[in-house]
């Protein structure tokens, strides 16, 4: 239910996107309120990344509408990207740069003032426990360290909306907790985060509300408690989707740290 006093950060109505015969997003209507940490939860192939790419303006819908604070991203990509921070599923960084050079490059793209640039980069390197490593080439960074640099790069220009596609991939439990705490702090400042995952326990630990996608359709939407209650109804489509959302042993330690 949308609170009339809240601004809508993202609105989709009857949104549809096909890749050939595959319907990646199917007639999706969804409102995401400003200031939330909002989860897109669904098994692999359910359309999460496609939806996020449409939010950022990288993919044009085939039918229906999508708007970011009232603006269509595919019509005004520059305007929208100024207010969005995007962490793609597989971030592409420049191997031949150091972390500091990469982050300075990103700051320059957004036109951050010199002083602001230096203090913000130093602040986030410290927060993500990368201080002391910033002058090493990214080619030597681990997957988790690269993921942290990609997240920092998405935060430097103070986005109003953060779109993070499976951002905890490759992060150790401690780093995952740093991301969680950061998102909560940003939410307190009014920043909206949209966060995708195929792991129920991660959505539960990080997000206030979630939308469950399957086959490109919205299966259900609400707080995790609402949805778990509904999934208890045997034979419901939600029950089936929950059964497909598997974490596995490799994420258990991350989930434990997030739940502290
Ligand atoms: N560029 C593409 N070309 C063809 N098919 C695609 C492309 N991108 C996504 N798809 C298909 O669309 C569906 C949704 O994919 P995706 O949005 O990546 O799902 P998720 O992020 O939930 O795993 C899948 O069937 C996938 O194979
Ligand atoms: Mg994906």
The residues placing their C-beta within 5 Å of ligand 2, an ion, are 48-49, 89
Domain count, the chain: 1
Question: Angle 255-180-226 (CA atoms, 0-180°, nearest 5)?
Answer: 70
Task: Answer yes or no: is 67 within a domain.
Answer: yes
List the CATH number of the domain containing 239.
3.40.50.300
Let me know how long the chain is: 260
Give me the mean pLDDT over the 104-121 stretch.
Answer: 94
- What is the whole-number distance in angstroms between the Cα of residue 34 and the centre of ligand 2? 23
| pLDDT given at position 150 | 97
Q: Could you give the angle at which helices 249-258 and 173-188 cross, rounded to 10 degrees?
A: 40
What DSSP character marks residue 7?
P
Q: What is the pTM of this model?
A: 0.94
The mean predicted confidence, pLDDT, of the chain is 91
Which of 14-18, 66-70, 101-105, 255-259 shows the lowest mean pLDDT across its residues?
255-259
Q: Is residue 1 part of a domain?
A: no
Residue 2 lies in a domain: no
Q: What is the mean pLDDT of residues 143-149?
A: 95
> Mind listing the pLDDT tens digit for each residue in 227-258?
877 776 666 677 777 777 776 667 888 888 98
**Residue 3 belongs to some domain of the structure:** no
CB 18 within 8 A of CB 64: no
Domain range for 233 is: 8-258
Cα 135 to middle of ligand 1, angstroms? 36
Residues 161-183: tens digit of each pLDDT:
999 999 998 899 999 999 999 99
């Amino acid at each position: 239910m949308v609170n009339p006093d809240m601004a809508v950060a993202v609105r989709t109505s009857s949104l549809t996107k096909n890749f050939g015969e595959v319907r990646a997003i199917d007639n999706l209507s969804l409102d995401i309120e400003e200031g939330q940490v909002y989860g897109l939860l669904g098994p692999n192939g359910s359309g999460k990344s496609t939806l996020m790419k449409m939010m950022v303006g990288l993919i044009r819908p085939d039918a229906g509408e999508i708007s970011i604070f009232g603006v269509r991203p595919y019509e005004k990509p520059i305007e929208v990207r100024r207010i969005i921070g995007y962490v793609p599923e597989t971030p592409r960084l420049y191997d031949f740069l150091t972390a500091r050079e990469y982050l300075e490059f990103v700051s320059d793209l957004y036109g951050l003032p010199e002083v602001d640039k230096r203090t913000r980069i130093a602040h986030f390197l410290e927060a993500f426990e990368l201080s002391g490593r910033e002058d090493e080439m990214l080619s030597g960074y681990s997957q988790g360290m690269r993921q942290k640099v990609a997240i920092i790069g998405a935060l430097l220009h103070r986005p109003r909306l953060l779109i993070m596609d499976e951002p905890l991939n490759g992060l150790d439990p401690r780093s995952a907790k740093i991301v969680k705490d950061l998102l909560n702090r940003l939410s307190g400042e009014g920043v909206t985060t949209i966060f995708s995952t195929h792991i129920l326990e991660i959505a539960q630990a990080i997000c206030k509300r979630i939308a469950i996608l399957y086959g490109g359709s919205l299966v259900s939407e609400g707080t995790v408690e609402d949805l778990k209650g509904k999934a208890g109804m045997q034979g419901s489509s939600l029950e089936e989707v929950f059964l497909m959302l598997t974490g596995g042993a490799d994420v258990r330690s991350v989930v434990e740290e997030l739940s502290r």
